[in-house]
């Protein structure tokens, strides 16, 4: 079992992705902790929608890298990787893995079976665990990061667009 800190930047979709990731990590036996200093891994879920968000994401990654000790993993996920992956892969050698918007599902596997430094952003999109039932009610306690009551709504990452005609009331 690993202790994991997840730092979420950006939009409500990133928050929803983080909640799903936290549930998956807990289901796989990992513990979500608030203090990055006591974590075995730090996941920074980034935003790069505007230049200020890109700078905040890079600064957060650099701060997280200062907490990196022997054996501690630093994993960067999200839009920054999707949009600027080649650039940040070269400029941030302290990061162990770069996962795009559709690869959050790999985080739990990386904690159990580490691999050499890499980047994967092949399948852009949000993260949805097929084993989670989106209509199930999950209670939320103050210490239970990653549990939300889900209902008849969903998040759409606007930067990915939509090809279906629809209207909003």
DSSP 3-state of 60:
helix
Cβ-based burial of 128 (10 A; exposed 0-12, middle 13-18, buried ≥19) = middle
Q: Where are the domains of the chain?
A: 3-160
Q: Of 80-94, 107-121, 133-147, where does mean pLDDT reach its minimum?
A: 133-147
pLDDT digits (tens, 9 = 90+) for 28-64: 999 999 999 999 999 999 999 999 999 999 999 999 9
pLDDT reading at 167 higher than 70: no
pLDDT tens digits for 133-148? 433 333 333 333 333 4
Task: Give the whole-angstrom CA distance, residue 121 versus residue 87.
Answer: 13
Sign of CA dihedral 54, 70, 104, 7: negative
pLDDT: which is higher, 126 or 14: 14
3-state SS, residue 78: strand
CATH H-level superfamily of 3-160: Methylthiotransferase, N-terminal domain (3.40.50.12160)
148 touches 138 (CB < 8 A):
yes
What region does 78 belong to: left with phi over 0, alpha with psi -120 to 50, or beta?
A: left
Q: What is the pTM of this model?
A: 0.77
Name which residue leads in pLDDT, 147 or 12: 12
Q: Which of 39, 83, 44 shows the shortest CA–CA distance to 61?
A: 44
Structure-model confidence comparison of residues 122 and 93, the more confident one = 93
Strands (E), 9-143: 31-32, 41-46, 73-78, 97-99, 118-120
Query: Residue with structure tokens 């950006």?
Result: 10
Contacts of 56 (CB under 8 A, 6+ apart): 9, 47
Separation CA 84–CA 143 (nearest Å) = 34
Question: What pLDDT is stored for residue 28 in this prediction?
Answer: 94
């Amino acid at each position: 079992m690993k202790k994991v800190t997840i730092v979420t930047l950006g939009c409500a979709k990133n928050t929803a992705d983080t909640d799903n990731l936290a549930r998956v990590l807990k289901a796989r036996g990992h513990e979500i902790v608030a203090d990055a200093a006591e974590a075995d891994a730090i996941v920074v879920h980034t935003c790069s929608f505007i230049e200020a968000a890109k700078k905040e994401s890079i600064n957060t990654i650099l701060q997280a890298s200062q907490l990196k000790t022997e054996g501690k993993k630093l994993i960067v996920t999200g839009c920054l990787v999707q949009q600027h992956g080649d650039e940040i892969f070269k400029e941030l050698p302290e990061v162990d893995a770069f996962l795009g918007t559709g690869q959050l599902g790999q985080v739990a596997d990386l904690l159990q079976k580490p691999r050499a430094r890499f980047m994967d952003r092949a399948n852009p999109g949000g993260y949805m665990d097929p084993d989670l039932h989106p209509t199930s009610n999950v209670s939320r306690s103050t210490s239970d990061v990653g549990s939300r009551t889900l209902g008849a709504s969903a998040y759409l990452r606007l930067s990915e667009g939509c090809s279906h005609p629809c209207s909003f009331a």
